[in-house]
Amino acid sequence: MDPIALAVIGGTGLYRLADLADVETLQPETRFGTPSGPVRVGRLAGHRVAFLARHGEGHSLPPHRINYRANLVALQQIGATRVLALNTVGGITERFGPRVLACPDQLIDYTWGRVSTICEESGTEVIHVDFGEPYTRALRREVIDAAQRANVALVDGGCYGATQGPRLETRAEIARMRRDGCDLVGMTGMPEAALARELGLDYACLAIVANWAAGAGPDPDEVITLQDVLDNVAAASEGLPALLRALLPQ
């Protein structure tokens, strides 16, 4: 059987890959428990691609309750070595308005209380991974090059700030994040990226900007609604199938 060429983790508003053909459903169990849902494995442009909905296919899991360890280990167990994380985010700085796609290169973790390492259990060997560059450089480069080949607009770089959720942030929190150097804000970027590093997986983030973060847009009094988020995610994702095809081995 052909290897898994790419594993994709979908965020809010992205619960399946519509272009997957000959889909089989896998229900892996891991040493860390059950992942968010079934892993759908099918063919895209002649290659085997796996997809997992991070929040569950019915969006039933809030960010702090996701079993990030089980999700990544499940993908590793079926043979995935390259993971593209799709993250629905808010935009903080000027380049990152609604419906923008971005491939961030840095990360700040504001989450708390999440199991953030595979070294949690007593007696487990402690791993100290280098995390100065939180996304795999080579895979990031492939994503950026694939977007260019597919003629999909993509912002190269940016700092993702990971917050606890599930509530959205206050204006003061976003102002602090801007001072800290964050360009994007989301709720699921960590501990996923760090766990991928501990597991030796190549990992990159494709951030889909669904809205301006609180106080960041041209209308400081804008109220963010779920429908606006979903509409913007759908619009920003129109080029995603072409980008994924370009990202697969040619």
| Residues placed in the known binding site | 12, 54-55, 187-188, 211-213
Residue 135 bridge partners (DSSP) = none
- For tokens 């898994």, name the residue: 4
CA 89 to each of CA 105, 151, 159, 239: distance values in angstroms, whole numbers, following the listed order: 15, 22, 12, 17
Q: CA-CA distance, 226 to 238, in Å (whole number)?
A: 19
Q: Which positions make up the binding site for substrate?
A: 187, 211-213
Q: CA-CA distance, 50 to 70, in Å (whole number)?
A: 15
Which helix or strand (DSSP H or E) is residue 202 part of? strand 202-212
Contact (CB, 8 A) for 181 and 158: no
CB atoms within 10 A of CB 23: 13
The angle at the Cα of 147, spanning 66 to 140, to the nearest 5 degrees, equals 55
Sign of CA dihedral 224, 108, 62, 99: positive
Which two structure tokens, joined as six digits, stand for 112? Answer: 């708390």
Q: Which positions make up the binding site for phosphate?
A: 12, 54-55, 188
**β-strands 202-212, 184-186: how paired?**
unpaired
Which two structure tokens, joined as six digits, stand for 35? Answer: 């992942």
| Residue of 180, 171, 172 lying closest to 222 (CA atoms) | 171
Contact (CB, 8 A) for 208 and 186: no
